[in-house]
Chain A
Amino acid sequence: MLTTWFLLVAVMIAAYVVFDGFDLGIGVLHLFLARTEEERRLLIRTIGPVWDGNEVWLLAGGGTLYFAFPLLYASGFSGFYLPLMIVLWLLILRGIGVELRMHLDSPVWRGLFGGAFGISSLLLTVFFGAALGNVIRGVPLQRDGYFFLPLWTDWNVGPQPGILDWYTVIAGVVAVVALALHGANYAALKTSGELNVRARRAAAFLWPVLALVTLVSLAATLAIRPDLLDNYRRMPALFAIPALVAASLFTMRSMGRSGNERGAFLSSCAYLVLMLVGAAAAVYPNLLLSTTDPALNITIYNAHSGEHALAVGLIWWSFGMAIAVGYFVFVYRMFKGKISTGNGGHGY
């Protein structure tokens, strides 16, 4: 039961990263890829009708965490207080940036909101990457299950680190590159003409960077947390995950080269999911690692909520998710194909 909820939370986080990931990637990329107002508008149109629904995965995932593992939610959210609040501000700016941009036909207005959209997307990506880095590195959990991290200390990975240290900055960089590439693949899938060419060129440019930072982050992770390999040693079949990560990267490149836009985008989705699966497999059954004493780790066994809630939760959660997936299929079907200029842009 607890493992099931661990998996469900992981699934929701992965869904958030894959879906909102390309929104964020488009946010970052539209600052660079688009050269005219028309092109910026086209890029934003590729996510216009879907970004809000994609963001719901974050809320639903956060809520599921709250419901299934209240101790983790309480400890993690209060301990990461400052970066989370900054994330909230950035989510607000991203939302109004993308939604209000088209309300006035003025270069100043659109520049302002487009800029807010792009910069908040970039910073969100950095913070999400760093957040994952923090979970993998661990935090100085106290005996009462709480901790509080400053934004930075001496940038070193020690027992009393900050949110940002050299390791989590690497994780932030991986996230920026991975989601920018994800966004480029999505842009290539949804656009045509000059913009499509540029999106594919951006993807080709970002690919070796991502391969490099993925390797660097893997090496860095093993350097600071050698014990993360314990699960892998115990169950060697898990080594298939990093192999699949590499496979998804190579498929992404060959698909990109052969002009299979859908294949490249799906490989990019697979890459993100597999990276998260790899991390989840390494930390399980822990939810939040302690930097000081493994006995203080927050695990699925000490963080879960009541039996009845979790058992009944499985029923309504599955039911609700089935409906939600139905909505997603419906919306993406309505919205399938390449974006064009002219009317029908959902107001973006």
Chain B
Amino acid sequence: MDDALFMHRLHFAFTVTFHYLFPQLTMGLAALIVVLKTLYLRTDKPLYNRAARFWAKVFGINFVMGVVTGIPMEFQFGTNWAQFSRVTGGVIGQPLVMEGVFSFFLESAFLGLFLYGERKLSRIGHWWAAFAVFAGSWLSGFFIIVTNAWMQYPVAFQRMPDGAFHVTSFWGLLFNPWALIQYAHNMCGALITGAFVMAAVGAYYLLDNKFVEEGRVFLRVAVVAGVIACAVQIFPTGDLHGRMMAAHQPATVAAMEGLFKTEAGAPIVILGQPDAESERIDNPLAANKVLSFLIYGATTARVKGLNEFPKTDWPTNIPLLFYGYHIMAGLGTIFVAVMAGAAFLLWRGKLFGARWMLWILLLCLPFPYIANTAGWMTAEAGRQPWLVYGLMRTGEGYSKNVHAGNGLFTLLGFMGLYTLLAILFLFLVRRVIERGPVDEAGAEAGSGMPVTLA
């Protein structure tokens, strides 16, 4: 493989993978914080507001990390993927500016008010500040998904003689059917991360026998939101996403499933190691006919294998794609089981005493991050060898004027800087969790008397 191409791919993969660890929690928590603030408004119990304030602190640290690691993403389209930007700017430049104009201004304006302005605002006013931050972050996610969806399933464009893509329909681009399904699936993923993080902290407090009252609120909200999000993640969003891929990216689906040869009544491989060279799965653990059923609803349906496609159109890293997909789907299934179990115990009023379940919730903490990352790896490795699916190859898009040495130089710089950010993040969030949901004397939240907006 071309050295420079590999370096530019690794550069983007590394920076975007690290970046997305933060927005998934930002978006998930933002929604859950709105739930807590709503509960506070409706019940008038300070407990809910204390819980909201605690999560706002975590949110604040997480948000900063998302912002500072997000800026490089927009720049890297131009720095590392210049040719891609040059020909597609007229299309995907649009959602990228819209993100800045419609969501970043909104988020940045209300974040300060939400985090520190509680005393300046009425209770309703502060609820609106939380809602604005939530809306901004979810809108931001939408524009990014629109961008990615166009690369997966290009619509509403016209190819010019010089190779440039020109957009032909504003709404067509914005409401790309692929984007709508991908967005639903992705946002469920963010909610799952938010729910598991909140549940893990709640479980930790209960197991450690501190901040028990708040811990119970965290668990209740997180488990209810989590069980819904986990279920919707698989059906209908995951199911629809899979069918959509089977229809438009059949080679990707074949590689994801490790299906090298076309089969009627294709099995689903649950575990195994794909060997792309000899075109087989080692040590397969398979369930017969399930794949055909999942995609076409009939156990005898024919599913296209990789042999139907020229090798030049095969995804470039089949094992990575296979594992990415299997880790995502496997964890997603486990999440449903965990959250359903927790929700059942909650319903029976036994969750808070079921230490084994609390332990499971605590230990689940890292897995939604892994599942979301693996899901994105599936989407992006699955799009290969295309940058714009079926139209522009990845090798045509990178900055030919930036050699591999320059790419490695800046990649190492980002690795160093991001290691530092990761340490800072863990250190600061751990501090917030150890201190717990208490109102510090003299803090913004100190007075119980809301002051109306001056």
Q: Is the CB of B90 within 8 A of A148?
A: no
Stretch from A29-37, A85-93, A216-224, A282-290 that touches the partner: A85-93
Within 8 Å of chain B (Cβ to Cβ): is A227? no
Which residues of chain A are within 8 angstroms of B168 by Cβ–Cβ distance? Answer: 308
Say whether A343 contacts B108, CB under 8 Å: no
Contacts of A306 in B (CB 8 A): 90, 158, 160, 164, 166-167
The chain A residue with its CB closest to the CB of B158 is A306
> Number of A residues contacting the other chain (C-beta, 8 Å)?
67
A70 engages B71 (CB within 8 Å): no
- Asked if residues A92 and B417 are in contact (CB atoms below 8 Å), the reply is yes
What CA separation (Å) do A312 and B442 show in the bound complex? 50
User: What residues of B have a CB within 8 angstroms of the CB of A309 in the complex?
Assistant: 90-91, 93-94, 166-167, 170
What string of 1s and 0s marks CB contacts (under 8 Å) between B99-112 and chain A? Answer: 11110111011111
Tell me if B413 and A85 are in contact (CB < 8 A): yes
Q: Which listed residue (B83, B97, B106, B115) contacts A67, Cβ 8 A? A: B97
Interface flags, B112-125, vs A, CB<8A=1, else 0: 11011101100000
Is there an interface contact between B104 and A59, defined as CB atoms closer than 8 Å?
Answer: yes
Determine whether the beta carbon of B99 is less than 8 Å from that of A63: yes
* In the assembled complex, B421 has its CB within 8 A of some CB on chain A: yes
A236-255 with Cβ < 8 A to chain B:
none
Beta-carbon contact of A77 and B79 below 8 Å? yes
Assembled-state Cα–Cα distance A60/B79 (Å):
17
What's the minimum C-beta distance from B418 to chain A, rounded to whole angstroms?
A: 9
Q: Does A324 contact B (CB under 8 A)?
A: yes
Of B102, B424, B431, the contact of A96 (CB 8 Å cutoff): B424
Q: Count contacts on B: residues with CB < 8 A to the other chain.
A: 71
Give the chain A neighbours of B71 by CB distance below 8 A: 55, 58-59, 88, 91-92
Residue from B72, B90, B100, B110 in contact with A305 in the complex, judged by beta carbons closer than 8 Å: B90
Whether B101 contacts A317 by the Cβ 8 Å rule is: yes
* Closest Cβ–Cβ distance, residue B353 to chain A (whole Å): 35
Name the interface residues of B81-97: CB closer than 8 Å to any CB of A. Answer: 82-83, 85-91, 93-94, 96-97
B residues 147-190 in Cβ contact with A at 8 Å: 158, 160, 164, 166-170
The answer for the CA separation of A324 and B98 in the assembled complex, in Å, is 11
- Find the B residue at minimum CB distance from A73: B78
Q: Which of A93, A99, A146 contacts B400, CB < 8 Å?
A: A146
Residue of B nearest to A147 (CB): B401
Q: How far is the CA of A1 from the CA of B431 in the complex (A)?
A: 53
Complexed CA–CA distance, A286 and B104 (Å) = 30
Complex contacts, B100 vs chain A, CB 8 Å: 56, 59-60, 63
Q: Which residue of A lies closest to B91 (CB)?
A: A309
Q: Which of B93, B104, B414 lies at the interface centre, i.e. has the most chain A CB atoms within 10 A of its CB? A: B93
Q: Is A158 engaged at the interface, CB distance under 8 Å to the other chain?
A: no
What residue in chain A is nearest B446 (Cβ atoms)? Answer: A343
Instruction: Determine if A334 is an interface residue (Cβ-Cβ < 8 Å).
Output: yes
Please tell me if the beta carbons of A70 and B102 are within 8 angstroms of each other in the complex: no
Contact between A148 and B74, CB atoms less than 8 A apart? no
User: Which listed residue (A48, A85, A345) contacts B79, Cβ 8 A?
Assistant: A85
Given contacts A95-B67, A331-B112, A334-B117, contact A78 B79 (CB under 8 A): yes
Contacts A59-B100, A347-B444; A78 near B72 (Cβ below 8 A): no
Known interface pairs A56-B108, A59-B104, A327-B106. Does A76 touch B93 (Cβ–Cβ under 8 Å)? no
Residues of B within 8 A of A74 (CB): 78, 82-83, 85-86, 89, 399
Q: In the docked arrangement, what's the CA distance between A74 and B162, Å?
A: 15
Q: Contact mask B415-454 → A, CB, 8 Å, 1/0?
A: 0010001001000100100000000001010100000000
Chain B contacts for A99, CB-based, 8 A: 64
Interface residues of A in 47-80 (CB under 8 A from B): 48-50, 52-53, 55-56, 58-60, 62-64, 66-71, 73-79
Residue in B72, B78, B112 whose Cβ sees the most chain A Cβ within 10 Å: B78
Question: B68 contacts which chain A residues (CB < 8 A)?
Answer: 91-92, 95-96
Q: How far is the CB of A274 from chain B (nearest CB, A)?
A: 25
**Contact of A81 with B by CB under 8 A:** yes
Query: Is A212 an interface residue when CB atoms closer than 8 A count as contact?
Result: no
Answer whether residue B410 sits at the interface, using C-beta atoms and an 8 A cutoff. Answer: yes
- Bound CA–CA A313/B96 (angstroms): 12
On whether the beta carbons of B109 and A331 are closer than 8 Å, the reply is: yes
Residues of chain A within 8 A (CB-CB) of B400 are 146
Q: Are A89 and B413 in contact (CB under 8 A)?
A: yes
**A85 and B417 alpha carbons, distance in the complex (Å):** 12
Which of A59, A82, A93, A308 gathers the greatest number of chain B CB atoms within 10 Å? A59
Name the A residues within 8 Å of B83 (CB-CB).
74
Say how far B74's CB is from chain A's closest CB, in angstroms: 6
- Asked if A66 contacts B421 (CB within 8 A), the reply is no
Cα-based distance from A96 to B67 in the complex (angstroms):
10
Check A78–B166 contact: CB distance below 8 A.
Answer: no
Q: Give the contacting residue for B105; candidates A62, A96, A327; CB below 8 A.
A: A327
From B84, which residue of chain A is reached at the shortest CB distance?
Answer: A74
Question: How close is A238's CB to chain B, nearest CB, in angstroms?
Answer: 29
B contact residues around A68 at 8 Å (CB) = 93
Within 8 A of B (CB), among A307-348: 307-309, 312-313, 316-317, 320-321, 323-324, 327-328, 330-331, 334, 343-347
- Are the CB atoms of A84 and B79 closer together than 8 Å? yes
| Chain B contacts for A143, CB-based, 8 A | none
- CB–CB A63/B117 < 8 A: no
Q: A52-B111, A96-B421, A346-B112 are in contact. Are A63 and B97 (CB under 8 A)?
A: yes
Q: Are A88 and B72 in contact (CB under 8 A)?
A: yes
B49: interface (CB < 8 Å): no
A328 and B109 form a contact (CB under 8 A): yes
Chain A to chain B contacts (Cβ below 8 Å), 29 pairs = A50-B112, A52-B111, A53-B105, A62-B75, A62-B78, A66-B77, A67-B90, A74-B85, A74-B86, A74-B399, A77-B75, A77-B85, A81-B401, A85-B410, A88-B75, A92-B421, A99-B64, A305-B90, A306-B90, A307-B166, A309-B170, A316-B101, A320-B105, A323-B105, A327-B110, A328-B105, A343-B444, A344-B119, A344-B120
- For the A-B complex with A82-B409, A309-B167 known, give 6 more contacts whose Cβ atoms are closer than 8 Å: A52-B111, A56-B105, A146-B400, A146-B401, A306-B90, A346-B116
